[in-house]
Structure 1
Amino acid sequence: MSSTTLQAAPPGAAPVPRASRAIGTGRLLPWLLLAPSLLALAVITGYPLVRMLWLSLHEYERAQLMGVPAEFVGLANYTDTLTDARFWSVAARSFGLMVVCVVVTITVGTLLALLLARLGRAMRLVLSVGLLLAWAMPPLAAMLVWGWIFDTQYGVVNHLLTAATGTSWMGHSWLIDPLQFFAVASLVIVWGAVPFVAFTLYAGFSQVPGEVLEAAQLDGASAAQRFFRVQVPFVRSIYTVLIVLSMIWDLKVFTQIYVLQGIGGIKSETSTLGVYIYEMGMGQGHYGAASAIAVLFTVIMLVISAYYVRATVKEEGDL
């Protein structure tokens, strides 16, 4: 017999089992606990997104800041953006920079993670402190240092090249030429991103069972074979997360490019998407067009994130 207790019900109504009521309350409780966080997320993230979408559908210029009503233009801002040759040039430049930075960051981070695993305790501590200092330094403060390193007249790089080659590099500008500009920018971006990748991969490699590596070594596997066939499969999900996060971070990079442009770069030839959106909005006052570009940029970020979420869900389903 069922031992479910029946709750008293009004006359003529069927009694409600207490177990059913408990199940209903149990399903509602998690949402009640999440409600404050969801509300804060909706206010902090949802409102700016809705506002940005609204601006992208209107002709919102500097005049509208003085109270002039904005004219609804529909998808005109998107059409103008997608038919603008400069937008595609900036987008291609941004994706090219992203690819280079992601490849170099993951490669260098992997090498540093393997180095951390092999170093003794003292040297591992020294390397870890150095990586933490690079990671903890604010981007703007770091850019001031990098600006002095590549300074045209007094830069350390020009001084070292002059001493090493015997020819004068003093006065050479690293930021006038776009290719050299992005070489410096890539160096700065990778320098700031490598510590996170190195520490994350080091933690992942530390979880690889030692007996598995030892068995592979006894079977005659080389160091490269042990890495690609044993260690990498164990941390494949970590690599997926790091690559996706690096793609997102490097696509929306702003501070490094903006500061380097202020030091000596040519804006029209070195702007990336983040700087381009800022120029269109704050610089030229075309807030509607800037919002349309930002919406397109957000869609790109969502597509990249969707791949990561899909891969994560698929992997959890296979477990």
Structure 2
Amino acid sequence: MVTAGPPRPTGALSHPPGSPAPHRGRRPARGGTASRARRAVPYLLIAPTVLALVAVLGYPLVDLVVLSFQDMTRRELFAGTSPPWAGVSQYRTVFTDAFFWEVVGRTALFTVVVSGVTMAGAMLIALLMRRVSPWVRLTMSGVLVAVWAMPVMVAASVFRWLVDADFGVVNWLLGQLPGVESARHNWFEDPWQGFAVIVAVVVWGALPFSAITLQAALTQVPPELEEAARVDGAERSQIFRHITFPVIKPAFVMVTTLTAIWNFGVFNQIWLMRSGQPEKDYYLLGVYSFIESFAVNRYSTGAAIAVITVLLLLVGAVVYVRQLVRMGEAE
């Protein structure tokens, strides 16, 4: 006769007598430590770059802000003494100066024109590179990289020679046209013509980055979508507006924002094209700040203009960061 044994213990009684009951519902401490370590890795990787930026840019920026609230003259500069505190008088002087607002408007107009011309030319070049044969595309990429690598001083010297009043190629070419008299024409006598030359110099240096970036973005456009639209009878402009551009829009907006930020702070091209002595009609914010600081020796006023310029550039930087965040969330 077989008898049933005693029932096996379950639950908390399933462990041997005298042994501690196992802990349930707890994660091992090792897992939490590993998770925190993984979250800390990105910050550790970018820490050297952040520290370098703080060391290189942080101290000069703080010193610039402090200087804008002081009244630095050559006496304090040569004597090495601390300049007197002036409060917001420098900013009051700047904001009540009509010429400052004229320079701000000129800088904004210059930024819009240069950025628009750059992005339009870059888009046309990118679309052209998409349609040509591979070896032509490779040649165009090499030329763009060579232009990008050209120093600003060299580019400014080339353009100064092109529009030279006595030996310029542009004047010579225009003189070949019937009814056009361009001998000894000074392109910088009229600020509009002078800024046209400066715009050409800036666009020349900015096109390669924008065109190569947009060309890379165009490679992400599915060709089957464009082919289907073409079969349905869509025109090229409609295909570009409804299919191509929505795909490359994030890259286009990002490059446009970066280009606008760079163009807002243009200094080298104007300074070099005017041989270090730009007229007031050619002042942008960067040039105006430099002139006030080192030519007129109003160091604190120049510092205040520079701080205002930095704040305006930060607005563009905030827009750029928000676009990056939105692009990351979309992905």
TM-score (norm 1): 0.90
Unpaired stretches in structure 2, ≥5 consecutive residues: 1-22
**By how many angstroms is 1:130 displaced?**
2.2
> What residue in structure 1 maps to residue 234 of structure 2?
221
2:284 aligned with 1:272, yes or no?
Answer: yes
- CA distance in structure 1 between the partners assigned to 2:38 and 2:142 by the alignment: 47
Structure 1 residue runs without a partner (length 5+): 7-16
List per-residue Cα deviations over 1:272-307 (Å, max 9, x = no partner): 111111111111121111111111111111111112
Larger radius of gyration: 2
Matched, 1:190 2:203: yes
Q: Tell me how large the CA RMSD over aligned residues is.
A: 2.0
Indicate whether 1:49 and 2:61 are aligned: yes
CA distance in structure 1 between the aligned counterparts of 2:27 and 2:231, rounded to whole angstroms: 64
Which of 269, 275, 283 lines up with 1:262 in the alignment?
Answer: 275
For the residues of structure 1 that align with 2:176 and 2:311, how far apart are their CA atoms? 49
Q: 1:37 aligns with which of 38, 42, 49?
A: 49
Counterpart selection for 2:194 from 181, 188, 202: 181
| Aligned residues of 1:154 and 1:170 also touching (Cα < 8 A) | no
Task: Please report how far the alpha carbon of residue 32 of structure 1 lies from its aligned counterpart in structure 2 after TM superposition.
Answer: 4.2
Distance in 1 between residues matched to 2:330 and 2:32, nearest whole Å: 32
In structure 2, how many angstroms separate the alpha carbons of the residues matched to 1:36 and 1:128?
A: 33
How far apart, in 1, do the equivalents of 2:169 and 2:199 lie? Answer: 18
Q: 1:86 is aligned with what amino acid?
A: F
CA shift, 1:312, in A, is 2.6
1:167-199 CA deviation, whole Å, 9 max, x = no partner?
431111001111111111111111111111111
Separation in 1 of the partners of 2:159 and 2:289?
Answer: 24
8 A contact 1:278–1:290 mirrored in 2: yes
Match of 2:275, SS state, is helix
In the other structure, the counterpart of 1:311 is: 323
**Structure 1 residue 34, shift from structure 2 partner:** 3.8
| Matched residue type, 1:295 | V
| Residues 161 and 167, structure 2, Cα contact 8 Å, conserved in 1 | yes
In 1, Cα distance between equivalents of 2:307 and 2:107: 16
Deviates more, 1:17-26 or 1:111-120: 17-26
The question of 1:151 aligning with 2:174 is answered no
Amino acid at match of 1:137: M
> 1:317 corresponds to which letter in structure 2?
E
1:136 aligns with 149
Asked if the contact 2:152/2:268 (under 8 Å) is kept, the reply is yes
Deviation at 1:314, TM superposition (A): 2.7
- Choose from 90, 114, 138 the match for 1:101: 114
C-alpha spacing 1:30/1:115, structure 2 compared with 1 (3 Å): closer
Contact 1:135/1:192 (CA < 8 Å) preserved in 2?
Answer: yes
Distance 1:117 1:167, change over 3 A: same
Q: Give the distance between the partners of 1:167 and 1:272, measured in 2 at CA.
A: 32
Structure-2 residue corresponding to 1:9: none
Q: Does 1:290 align with 2:276?
A: no
- Does residue 64 (structure 1) correspond to residue 76 (structure 2)? The answer is yes
Match in the other structure for 1:11: none
For residues 66-110 of structure 1, the C-alpha deviation after alignment (integer angstroms, 9 at most, x for no partner) is: 213201111111111111111111111111111111111111110
Counterpart of 1:128, as a letter, is: S
1:253 aligned residue:
266
Cα deviation code 1:138-179 (max 9, x no counterpart): 011110111010000110000111112354311110011111
Q: 2:165 touches 2:185 (CA, 8 Å); kept in 1?
A: yes
Change (3 A) 1:287 1:223: same
Matched, 1:232 2:251: no
How many equivalent pairs are there?
Answer: 308
Which 10-residue stretch deviates more, 305-314 or 197-206?
Answer: 305-314
* 2:8 counterpart residue number: none
Instruction: Please state whether the residue corresponding to 1:165 is helix, strand or coil.
Output: coil
| Alignment partners' CA distance in 2, 1:243 and 1:122 | 28
**Matches of 1:248 and 1:119, distance apart in 2:** 32
Change over 3 Å in CA distance of 1:177–1:21 after alignment to 2: same
Moved more, 138-147 or 166-175: 166-175
